[in-house]
Structure 1
């Protein structure tokens, strides 16, 4: 899951925009020392200090539509914190255009620190644009300075088709890099061609029974993570990142142990569905920026989920023959135990890292 902000090692400010239908999310980073010098305000996390900092930033900035009307600026979070390098003032904002105005064209006005310190500047960049395309690199709009306090950001026009396609690509990209998600599923599928007896995997299923078992497991996992994905997008269901990530690592460990020795024979679809709920929460941060309207969110979520399922199904189809062949190989039991051990070791490393993360 993404961290609250990327590393900030430079003495200038940064404003990172993420466009979604109906709104823009902004990550604003201002060096703490420069902010304190320019404003004379306290730079600690006491409620009064944060309230004064919020008021000062909002007084020294504006987001305007083409006709000059102001966008609504909501402060989701503000803190003085050390992300990387010297400490910064970090704000997370939600920007909403006025009625009838484009949500893809805005004029950013900025005087934070630059008015008092003319050598200071703020880089304005586009971090993401679901409707306009998901790009691998940030797009630099320009630098806001004391002599150039305004910049126009125009993302052009984008329709539902483009949003669906880009959401599909985002989902596919995310799951392709989600090794823990895929490893959980593959470890759970590993003993699917086998039948448990006496606390061990022993007899083999027929090919048809194996395919049915695989289908039930994959379907249950899909239903599980799709459910929490929808709850996150439409109802704001969230959990802190650390327990979610630790829960995913635990799910990989449980599936690895089950691949070696049956823990819940015959209940794999149930376990896949339950842990799928946890895996779906890992996508909550991504889908939270899918826009305001119910229709646009539904289209984006459908594309995102289909992207996940396309990659997931492709991986399962590629692994299918190997899983069945492994169960019939004379050294298949040893190979399965070795794969389960490696998966369990990876899960333990992830679990230790994620439980130890601050």
Structure 2
């Protein structure tokens, strides 16, 4: 049995089977509902069900509270339809033209840029364009069927090449990438996924990254440069030590060449050997220190879930940021 889902305000319709989540069904029909982790842990896909009934399945009450459920909200990556539905998802029209596809990619180069981060460049088939919005991610499909997600760190280009920043977390794939991955290795990919992308407004922006959360932020910076941006951007990149800001000089040089960008690096645990007189502490705390009011801003945050969740809570509760203007990609 299947149900119809009416997407507002666009009026588009897709069908969802009983055993599918709303997000799975929408993506299968080329409709990019807002999402990030697709595992029910980040809350990005939270949306309003305007009419009809859903089964919240295993949605975590810490991510989707009972009060939110009572108000009609659901996590689209976990919710399943129990009837025909009408949902509110204005982002569908913004992402028109982006479709999910599976493709092969061959490793073009591996640059082990620090003691635990590798920059991997992947060459896609020249006859198969891979369209994505800067800020989105793709998944590598491993031999056992498991998947790992990595954000594209550059804008789509004529070379049809992807750039990933992969930290060696000790996991099977990231350890393999850092220790043993070779050029010309063939990988299977699927994507793009995610709705972390620049919105077309005139609001000034704050970018907040931790660790390799810098990768999609780098893509956004390149996009803005290509568009001859004039919107002010305040960028904050946090790491424990200076080595964690593995492209620090790249950002410094980029900021020198683009007067719309202000860059503030932040270290939480300065190493004994680091020569550092910059900001210290948690990266989102530095934003709180620098801004007394974020009500007129857009914030783009990417990194570990604790940083993203803390930034969302503190920016909205303490600095007046409209939660609709907080866009995030949590690396879960």
TM-score (norm. length: structure 2): 0.25
TM-score (norm. length: structure 1): 0.24
Point out the structure with max Rg over C-alpha: 1
- Would you tell me which structure has more strand in proportion to its own residues? 2
- Would you tell me which structure has more helix in proportion to its own residues? 1
